[in-house]
Amino acid sequence: MKLRKQVTVCGGAIFCVAVFSLYLMLDRVQHDPARRQNGGNFPRSQISVLQNRIEQLEQLLEENHQIISHIKDSVMELTDTGAVSPSGHLPFRSANGSWVLPFDGRPTFLAVKSQDCQFAVGSHGQADVQMLDVYSLLKFDNPDGGVWKQGFDITYEPDEWDSEPLQVFVVPHSHNDPGWIKTFDKYFTDQTQHILNNMVVKLGEDSRRKFIWSEISFFSKWWETADIHKQEAVRKLILAGQFEIVTGGWVMTDEANVHYFAMIDQLIEGHQWLERNLGVTPRSGWAVDPFGHSATMAYLLKRANLTSMLIQRVHYSIKKYFSSTHSLEFMWRQAWDTGSNTDIFCHMMPFYSYDVPHTCGPDPKICCQFDFKRLPGGRINCPWKVPPKTVVEANVAERAHLLLDQYRKKSKLYRSKVLLVPLGDDFRYDKALEWDQQYINYQKLFDYMNSHPEMHVQAQFGTLTDYFNAVYKANGVAQGSRPADFPVLSGDFFAYADREDHYWTGYFTSRPFYKSLDRVIESHLRGAEILYSLAVANARHAGMEGRYPVSDYALLVDARRSVALFQHHDAITGTAKENVVIDYDCFFLLPARYLVLFNPVEQERLCVVTVLVNTLRVRVLTEDGQTVPVQLSAQWSSSSQMSAESIKRKEDPQEVKVQMQFVVYGTRPSKDKSGAYLFLPDGKAKPYNQKEPPVVRVVEGPLFSEVVAHYQHFQQAIRIHNVPGVDGLSIDITTTVDIRDQTNKELAMRLVTDIQSGDVFYTDLNGFQMQPRRHYLKLPLQANFYPMPSQAYIQDSHHRLTLHTAQSLGVSSLESGQLEVIMDRRLMQDDNRGLGQGLKDNKKTANRFRLLLERRSEGNKMMDSGTTSFPSILSHITNAILNHEVLALPVLPKRRGIPPLQTFAPLKSFLPCDFHLLNLRSIQSQQQDPHSPSPYTALILHRLALDCGLETQNLGFNCTTTQGQLNVSGLFKNLDLQLLQPMSLTLMHSSTPLANDSTISLDPMEISAFKLKLR
């Protein structure tokens, strides 16, 4: 009774405060001194101001109603249980058998402004070419195209270049994989160092020679060993425009399995190295080898202030279509862009590969004759049986005309009379002889062409940016601007097929153990970055800078570079040799009674933290001696049809049928079989069967309940958390897979539901954005799989079912209402893409998921856009808690007794819940010592776009949005903000510093970087 009185008094007091606040606001509006001076004459502008204020007050009143309603509900929950602990301790079971926890009924509120919901339902920028439409349009047949087998016959009129000569830029390059067949160090020792040493000498011999390079991981290692003369020579070559760094990332990143945190981080690491050592700012992106291309990469390059980019590995049918419509160069726009702010100029290479036989023109038999490394007597030759010839005076005319014919045919596929001809391949130019063979013979051909005006061609060596600048100039537009009539494209380029039905969709899952490990380490790295930046800033603020061990910064730099290296397109993809994978593993390094728990997400969080202990007698205390509720759960070591049949949300009367099945794919009996890259199944999947029924164990407790089923090749744990808020609103699934005794088998988990999703499903690109997909019957089964770095969902007019994942895997929806994930692959043979071995080094791997069922609200039912889709606020937070678990950091006391642990809460207030703190990264010193921090910190923020058309339950924390506004100086506790400067994404380009008390503003989906000085 006493509690009910207290509730009534509290509720009444809250209501009075709310009403009184509104009264004061209205009073202030009515008694505005400026208005009094006007003697009651209200100009139209002031009436509109008054109208706006009244609307704001109405919104405030609505938010107050929501807050009071949430508090009332929470208090009623507390009083309705009527539960009193017999011993006074929590948790305990109430009379009705449910568990009562100390944090039940915590009042929370959700205040998402209606304006912050508009982006998801508003109109987005129109594109001339939408990749989903291209997929619908194409037959994906493969007729023989003649010399260009996957294309068509190209013809031209001889006089087409009479008024405007063809400009040809031959761009020498060497593609260096930081680990693939050999380890990173072995490649460097055997080849890469020689390529760069030769480059310094050979470019210096002739100022007309050019060369491009992309992988900073290799270049930085070479730089450290190069003497001062070589370093100075490189700087001169860069200034002279002979040597260009393209993209400038630590690696040429994969674009399918990587998370956007790591994509950005490896790009920053490369760019920061370039800025400190060379003063170089890359202008053009170069991605010749990633196996498919993501729209996220285009956005990140744009935000890093690059003006142009190049891509190569795109489905051959799409290349053919783009060639026939002269769309190989386009402005790549994000599907969610409301204007053209995200546009970046993109060049797609038209032919099969980036090697010399497939870059000069459509006929590889002829182009191979102009790869002078293949001259007779060398180690490699031309498969078409016609070798190159050294260019001499007697044959230069014939050779030049033969090559020009290819140049002209290739140029017919583009809109400008400017042609890009890459000249290189994997680890090329490692011998001085090859530099001479290529450069001397090509210079003879250029000299002949350029001295014969009737050929109407100007040919030269060039860098990638030389080419792009010539395109812009020919079209009369500024760098990075859209030339007239060039198409705008949105969408992505997955899945990739290089020939026949050979789809590169296997690598979306290959070596899942390392894909999972990568994400765990990324989360730890982000946590370490944030804690380090705040710790150093607090030490400076307290005047203890000298006592703080800044030498730890070197460890942070090593960790950044190890994670960055693993984003390489043969590392995280699982497509390197076994010994190389073990080498990558070496780059990743990590019975305490004391733990520091760090919550790395931006919001307050109530969740279960798992810690391994070796005793049943466990009590957990906070620093001030308060008991924390615990639940002991046995770790079963023995292993020997459980299935989830349906999901029902507490408040939702409607049950959704969800059946979890496990199925197995085999591989083809023919010569082409699945391997590390390719998925070539032997038909539809077959149900997983084992003779013995699974051993099933059920655990029930105050914090969670779980069912664990042990099968021969996997163990599945399905857990429901009994805590209020986000942790308790989704189902926690861990599937531990071990298929080491299998031969040519791929294990998949299939969710079968009664959701009427049709042929549409949604997968994320790099954890950054959602991409609608369609299942096509005209495509082979393997072509319908896509990368799932963080989530996939299906929906109908009533529900959305999202599978969140803590590791990147391949996903599809092969029937309406289904989601299917490939969990692991064991393959005994190579798939003829250069690796030379199968996938036989499988490890026991725990794949972690969250299954989230949401009800769609009435107004949201028939508004699905064909090109965009966005997660709800609950879905965003669910993904954050799955990918950024609370970090349990062991503390080893230096002396006997309890270490002096103290809570560190660095934020004055929580960020708006549509803001994600991507990183708070200490910037390296620009002085000689790269392993010490500068006084500056990079703040990288991403504003999430929200689909508010899904009903939101109690999130367990106070969630507000601010229309993208954030006051940075009011964010950090006990720290002074001395600099707030907007920067490009990789910190190489700066804008004018803002006033320290400025409010910054981000649009939905925008990623922005700021340089801070905190003391």
- Supply the residues annotated as catalytic: 289
Burial letters 369-405, b for 16+ CB under 10 A, else e: bbbbbbbeebeebbeeeeebeebeeeebeebbebbbe
DSSP codes, 411-469: HTTSSSSEEEEEEEEET---SHHHHHHHHHHHHHHHHHHHT-GGG-EEEEE--HHHHHH
Residue 309 in contact with residue 298, Cβ under 8 Å? Answer: yes
649-658 b/e (C-beta count within 10 Å ≥ 16 → b): beebeeebeb
Dihedrals φ, ψ of 121, to 5°?
A: -100, -10
> Which spans in 332-413 are helix H?
364-367, 396-411
The angle at the Cα of 199, spanning 461 to 560, to the nearest 5 degrees, equals 110
Looking up tokens 């029924």, which residue turns up? 693
- Contact between 976 and 91 (Cβ < 8 Å): no
Q: How far apart are CA 780 and CA 955, in angstroms?
A: 42
Tokens of 534: 């705040």
3-state secondary structure (DSSP) of residue 968: helix
Instruction: Extract the tokens encoding 947.
Output: 């689909």
Residue 813, both tokens: 């929806």
DSSP letters for 289-305: SSSSB-HHHHHHHHHTT
Q: Residue 288 has which token pair? A: 């010749």
Cβ-contact 254, 266 below 8 angstroms: no
Are 994 and 982 spatial neighbours (Cβ–Cβ below 8 Å)? yes
Beta bridge partners of 490: 130
C-beta separation of 622 from 609 below 8 A: no
Residue type, 656: V
Sort 881 into a burial class: Cβ within 10 Å, 0-12 / 13-18 / 19+: buried
Beta pairing class for 959-960 and 110-111? parallel
Listed in order, strand segments (DSSP E) in 609-739 are 620-621, 627-628, 646-647, 656-665, 686-687, 695-699, 704-710, 714-721, 731-737
